[in-house]
């Protein structure tokens, strides 16, 4: 949304008051503004938002208006008083309390609101100023000491159910602690994306996310419920009890924003939605104070070197430059941990100079037999299947080794899921057997040689008292 006050549109002197930069105390979110001046916004912009909300709803109850615009009663009353003085709004009814008031637009107010909507259809929470966002993003940076420390005990607990080698786990922990760029590479199905997303879950602390940001008279929609997950209820209640927060911000977990092969040049800058007149924030902007995961590196619609070069200067400076209408550049915070994941060889994607700029380069490869067996047993438990050790032995020695397929972390869950699919189709109860696991294996279209490797009859020897587990490991 681009906001420009129409000439002579709102003649009342109170609508032309100057906005003041808010003085927010440390913490997230900031305290609730007590007057228009505290919001950091021009009164005329608040009037525009109020008029459009009233136009779309009609007669509106004051508490409903506060919920829609995320502004306090006192701020809205200041705006509504000015609108009444200029004959744009009127009281439609009063109840027993000061809050029980209904407002509606006058005919002149409806005409003015229609003009506002013709220019920009945004009707929603009032924005915060870009400077307010910069200040708070800096205070709640993950690089600050109060953001918390992730040590060996936390990593071990977080990956207790995973089959990571201790050395890989320690590398991931060090990379997360450094907040430098991290490259995960290895064959498809080795679990790179799963590991990266788990790093996102390990982030400590909460952050305040604005619903929208005012940038040089334009509104940028920022909050995305798909990536800005709400804080646990107990934390939200504690924050509200501690002080009355500014509802234009919402308390969230640190974000993890994931992009993949769909990433193109146009997604790396502000994007104007011409239908609504509102800008959309790019993924790396929404990832501030969290993690940006670039999955399938090398599959994007722009070369990997160009993509990383786009972020090299922001990574060094902590500041990015975005462009708004007319080519005007604005400076925004760039406080993200960049995690890259690819199944291509790093040397095939990047030259040595780029590889040196990546803080941690971690190979996520096939599992050992013991780790694969442990993962398969765990997946059997999660799928409510009794694990048959002979079937597990057959899977590893005849299907994997017979076809030359590595022991990748993705196989157990995929195979058991397909086993359930076939059982449900047949109308039978899923049960782990050599025939069932072989059927699931073939359904994955693994390529030549699989059928021949699995064609031999399934035979096991019960020799010399050696346990199956000992034979596997």
pLDDT tens-digit profile of 331-358?
999 999 999 999 999 998 888 888 888 8
Task: Band the pLDDT of 236: cuts 50, 70, 90.
Answer: low
CA gap 455, 432 in Å, rounded:
18
Contact between 372 and 326 (Cβ < 8 Å): no
Does residue 254 carry a pLDDT above 80?
A: yes
Give the β-pairing of 256-259 and 360-363: unpaired
Does residue 123 carry a pLDDT above 60?
A: yes
Give 5-48 pLDDT, tens digit per residue: 333 333 333 333 334 433 333 346 899 999 999 999 999 999 99
3-state secondary structure of 112: helix
CA nearest to 85, candidates 54, 71, 106, 100 = 106
DSSP 268-315: GS-EEETTTTEEE--HHHHTTTEEEEE-STT-SSS-HHHHHHHHHHHH
CA gap 369, 117 in Å, rounded:
64
Contact between 314 and 333 (Cβ < 8 Å): no
Residue given tokens 């009032």 in the structure block: 126
- Residues listed for the chain: 473
What is the pLDDT at residue 159? 78
- Give Dmax (Cα) for the chain: 98
Top-confidence residue, 203 or 279: 279
Q: How far is CA 82 from CA 48, 91, 141, 376, 442, in A?
A: 12, 13, 39, 68, 72
User: Angle at the Cα of 141 (from 138 to 146), degrees rounded to 5?
Assistant: 115
Average pLDDT over residues 296-314: 91
Give the β-pairing of 212-215 and 128-129: parallel
Does residue 126 carry a pLDDT above 50?
A: yes
CA gap 40, 127 in Å, rounded:
9
What is the pLDDT at residue 237? 63
CA nearest to 416, candidates 424, 406, 427 = 424
CA gap 398, 395 in Å, rounded:
6
Does residue 398 carry a pLDDT above 80?
A: yes
CA gap 187, 259 in Å, rounded:
19
Residue given tokens 């590398």 in the structure block: 171
Average pLDDT, the chain: 85
As given in the structure block, the two tokens for residue 285 are 């902007």
What is the pLDDT at residue 9? 36
CA nearest to 336, candidates 254, 267, 269 = 254
- The whole-model pTM stands at 0.83
Give 184-235 pLDDT, tens digit per residue: 999 999 999 988 998 888 888 899 999 999 999 999 999 999 999 998 877 6
- CB-based contacts of 460-466 (< 8 A; 24+ apart in sequence): 460/390, 460/393, 460/394
């Amino acid at each position: 949304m681009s906001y420009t006050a129409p000439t002579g549109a709102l003649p009342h002197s109170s609508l032309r008051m100057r906005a003041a930069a808010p003085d927010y105390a440390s913490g997230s979110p900031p305290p609730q503004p007590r007057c228009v001046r505290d919001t950091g916004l021009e009164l005329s912009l608040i009037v525009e938002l109020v008029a459009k909300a009233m136009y779309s709803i009609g007669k509106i109850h004051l508490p409903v208006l506060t919920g829609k615009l995320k502004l306090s009663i006192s701020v809205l009353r200041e705006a509504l008083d000015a609108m009444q003085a200029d004959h744009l709004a009127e009281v439609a009814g009063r109840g027993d309390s000061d809050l029980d008031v209904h407002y509606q637009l006058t005919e002149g107010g409806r005409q003015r609101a229609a003009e506002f909507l013709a220019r920009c259809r945004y009707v929603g929470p009032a924005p915060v100023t870009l400077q307010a966002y910069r200040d708070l993003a800096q205070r709640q940076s993950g690089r600050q000491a109060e953001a918390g420390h992730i040590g060996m005990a936390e990593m071990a607990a977080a990956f207790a159910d995973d089959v990571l080698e201790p050395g890989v786990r320690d590398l991931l922990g060090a990379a997360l602690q450094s907040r430098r760029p991290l490259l995960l590479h290895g064959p498809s199905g080795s679990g790179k994306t799963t590991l990266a997303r788990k790093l996102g879950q390990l982030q400590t602390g909460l952050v305040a996310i604005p619903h929208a940001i005012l940038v040089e008279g334009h509104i940028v929609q920022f909050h995305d419920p798909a990536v800005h997950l709400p804080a646990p209820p107990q934390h939200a209640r504690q924050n509200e009890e501690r002080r009355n927060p500014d509802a234009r911000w919402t308390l969230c977990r640190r974000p993890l924003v994931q992009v993949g092969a769909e990433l193109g040049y146009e997604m790396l800058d502000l994007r104007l939605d011409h239908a609504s007149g509102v800008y959309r924030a790019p993924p790396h902007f929404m990832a501030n104070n969290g993690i940006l995961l670039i999955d399938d590196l090398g599959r994007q619609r722009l070369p990997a070197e160009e993509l990383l070069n786009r972020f090299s200067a922001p990574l060094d400076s902590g500041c990015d430059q975005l462009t708004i209408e007319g080519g005007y550049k604005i400076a925004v915070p760039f406080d993200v941990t960049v995690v890259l994941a690819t199944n291509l060889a790093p040397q095939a994607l990047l030259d040595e100079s780029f590889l040196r700029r990546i803080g941690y380069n971690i190979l996520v490869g096939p599992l050992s037999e013991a780790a694969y067996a442990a993962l398969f047993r765990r997946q059997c438990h999660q799928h409510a299947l009794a694990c048959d050790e002979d079937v597990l032995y057959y899977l590893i020695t005849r299907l994997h080794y017979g076809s030359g397929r590595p022991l990748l972390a993705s196989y157990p869950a995929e195979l058991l899921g397909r086993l359930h699919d076939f059982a449900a189709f047949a109308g039978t109860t899923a049960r782990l057997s050599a025939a069932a696991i072989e059927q699931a294996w073939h359904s994955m279209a693994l390529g030549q040689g699989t059928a021949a490797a699995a064609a031999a009859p399934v035979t096991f020897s019960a020799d010399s008292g050696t346990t199956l587990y000992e034979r596997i490991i």
